[in-house]
Structure 1
Amino acid sequence: MTIRYGVVGAGWISQIAFLPGVDVTGNSKTTALVSGNRDASERLAEFYDIEHTFTYDQYDEMLAADVVDAVYIALPNSMHADYAIRAAKAGKHVIVEKPLAISAAECRAMIEAAEAAGVYLMTAYRLHNEPGTVHALELIRSGAIGDPRVFSSVFSFQAGPDNHRLKASHWGGPLQDIGIYCVNAVRHIFADEPVEVTAVRNQTDDPRFSEVEETFAATMMFPKGRVAQFVASFGAEQLDTYRISGTEGDIAVECAYDFQSPTIVRLTRGAEVIEHVFEKTDQFAGQTAYFSDCITAGVAPEACGEEGLADVEILLALEEAVKTGTAQKIELDQRRRHPDATMVRRFAPTGRRLMV
């Protein structure tokens, strides 16, 4: 069975990653494209053999037609809830780029809409289907480093001045755009939820950061005395890494969040060092294939709406910690599911893509 996707938003991530990835899955196909740029839509549609193109004003028309089974929403954060809820009400499955929405209330409305319609809502955590990430998690679960005690991470890159992630109106900023990767990673590494968070952010004269901070740094306290710290920055050179220190060793993961580089997992126990450089895979193809498998099998995806809601609640608590200068308590339901080997999907990267 082939699941038909409507791609909503033809920006950078759709062009460089999602559209190329869909074509290599074998169980998914892009059959509709929704964009505000008619010329770009037509060129992309011709290149990927996409039968239908629509403007944003025609979104409901697309949903009413029998041209897609699911939608992939890659719009600015502030638009996620509206487009996801409309799709769910029309009976379409929904995968939404992270963060799921800009408030807990919006996330819950999205979850409720999907449940009421009997469709699946998935938060686009592609790393849950990536072999290196899952390998690191399985090492921890096997006791390879004893009890994991400390998590530290840095995720940074130089943001372009026209990036919509620099707009406060879209709930942009390094915390929301890349800090969320660190938050999501440690929740599954510790297999637990944070109970208290603190944070700081900087202010610079760089005109790129007139609406959002350049750098956000956070400390998260977990049960059993575990501690996580991360730094997310739009003003430093590309770096994406995390390290977990346990009672009997440590695990370092490099190229931990980037979808264009192979993941490196290094296990250290005393003098023993075991490094595994994973073959580069198409992470968007893996994510899409997994979601299509879930739809076909009638099984809810692990990275469900509640998974996206949990991260949004943590981001909001971190923002409040910055604003007030005081630690914020958090109470979240425990996750019953975590990424595992059954969710991994491997596809060779494709060089066939069009950037317009």
Structure 2
Amino acid sequence: MRKIRYAVVGAGWIAQEAFMPGVSQTGNSTMTAIVSGSAKNAAKLAEFYGVEHVFSYEQYDQMLASDVADAVYVALPNSLHADYAIRALRAGKHALVEKPLATTEAECEAMIAAANESGAYLMTAYRLHNEPGTVELLERIRSGEIGDPRIFAAVFSFVASPDNHRLKAAYWGGPLQDIGVYCLNAARHIFAAEPIEAVAVKSFGNGSAVVGEVEESIAVTLRFPEGRLAQFIASFGSDSSDFYHVGGTKGSVTADPGFRFETAVRMKFRQGDIGTEKTFPQTDHFAGQTAYFSDCILNAQPPEPDGGEGLADVRALLAIERAASTGQPQKIDTPARQIHPTADMIRVLPTTDLRLLL
């Protein structure tokens, strides 16, 4: 069986903790190159995983010009996503890019254009689109199990380490971009619609928080078509929580845990006085999304969470930031997307303890 060869671009925590271990679980993917700013760490990771090629960032174009990889996984700070993805796409390499896809609408559009011009696929790394519990929840809502979904509420939080690059304003870091995007993306697919207005408030803590360059927390309200409302809080200053609740005209569903990749998704559906609970199997989210993307490449089938999916979230994220900065509601104008996660995208793959953290 042919395997898609990946070059990991940015060998930081998420690559080491999740992507690199997951590749070996896929069956249709392999890691053949590492691009990193630390030659020492890259060499250790390459030896551990049996990766033949190591490149510096200055050698990135050299890597793209050589026949060592079919695709790149871009796990760099947000502000670097567009540059490295566009260069890969123009070289004919498929690109799996961590979210948020980029920092501006123009960057997202340039990434999409590069993919269209070369024919290489651009996929935004929405791992939950391949996770069985998330997809089942969406399909049960679409089937009418809770009636018409009217409200969405979520909290995603943890206490961030002060040296985390996600706290750097220059990288477009912050709780909204890092974890709030999961809440936003969930609401969009639960309502099968795009938000039309954003209101938001930021908090910089009480002076003792670890967060310095970015806000500690952000509270967001989104208005959707047909009078639907979504609210969520994303925070780097509160103990770990990741849950969301959907209220419909005939019932409700709560996912708790709902977002993190380290824990199995657990859901509680309720219709009147009747409630049912279901815990889904623990699956490797990163292996699942990588296997799915490789299947898309192997079968010449464009991925569902493409550049347009990433652009839709970035457009909303930017409106939320403007709302928080100005104190005024901000309009959002995004065309409705006709595709959403479906059961054929689910990939259930075992987790592994084989990883090296540096």
Find the counterpart in structure 2 of residue 180 from structure 1.
181
RMSD: 0.7
Are the equivalent residues in 2 in contact too, given 1:286–1:346 (CA < 8 A)? yes
**Residue identity opposite 1:79 in structure 2:** L
Percent identity between the two aligned chains: 59
Find the counterpart in structure 2 of residue 30 from structure 1.
31
Find the counterpart in structure 1 of residue 310 from structure 2.
308
**Residue identity opposite 2:347 in structure 1:** R
Find the counterpart in structure 2 of residue 297 from structure 1.
299
What is the TM-score with the length of structure 1 in the denominator? 0.99
Find the counterpart in structure 2 of residue 319 from structure 1.
321
1:35-68 Cα shifts (integer Å, max 9, x gaps)? 1111111111111111101111111110000000
Task: Map 1:151-190 onto structure 2 (within 5 A).
Answer: 151-190=152-191
Q: Measure how far apart 1:315 and its partner are.
A: 0.4
Find the counterpart in structure 2 of residue 138 from structure 1.
139
Find the counterpart in structure 1 of residue 63 from structure 2.
62
Q: Measure how far apart 1:207 and its partner are.
A: 5.7
Distance 1:284 1:114 in 2: 22
Distance 2:337 2:180 in 1: 20
Alpha-carbon spacing, 1:242–1:320, altered in 2? closer, same or farther (3 Å): same
Q: Measure how far apart 1:208 and its partner are.
A: 2.9
Unaligned ranges ≥5, structure 2: none
Would you identify which runs of 4 or more consecutive aligned residues in structure 1 move more than 6 Å? none
Distance 1:206 1:88 in 2: 43
1:218-238 Cα shifts (integer Å, max 9, x gaps)? 000011110000000000000
Distance 1:141 1:168 in 2: 38
Q: Measure how far apart 1:211 and its partner are.
A: 1.1
Aligned residues: 356
State whether structure 2 residue 5 is matched by structure 1 residue 4.
Answer: yes
Are the equivalent residues in 2 in contact too, given 1:166–1:208 (CA < 8 A)? no
Distance 2:348 2:211 in 1: 38
Find the counterpart in structure 1 of residue 335 from structure 2.
333
Distance 1:209 1:131 in 2: 34
State whether structure 2 residue 219 is matched by structure 1 residue 217.
Answer: yes
Aligned residue for 1:208, secondary structure, equals coil
Are the equivalent residues in 2 in contact too, given 1:253–1:265 (CA < 8 A)? yes
Task: Map 1:40-189 onto structure 2 (within 5 A).
Answer: 40-189=41-190
Distance 2:194 2:346 in 1: 23
Q: Measure how far apart 1:202 and its partner are.
A: 0.8
Distance 1:191 1:157 in 2: 28
Aligned residue for 1:326, secondary structure, equals coil
Q: Measure how far apart 1:209 and its partner are.
A: 2.3
Find the counterpart in structure 1 of residue 251 from structure 2.
249
What is the TM-score with the length of structure 2 in the denominator? 0.98
Distance 2:208 2:54 in 1: 39
Q: Measure how far apart 1:272 and its partner are.
A: 1.0
Q: Which moved more, 1:261-270 or 1:199-208?
A: 199-208
Are the equivalent residues in 2 in contact too, given 1:32–1:67 (CA < 8 A)? yes
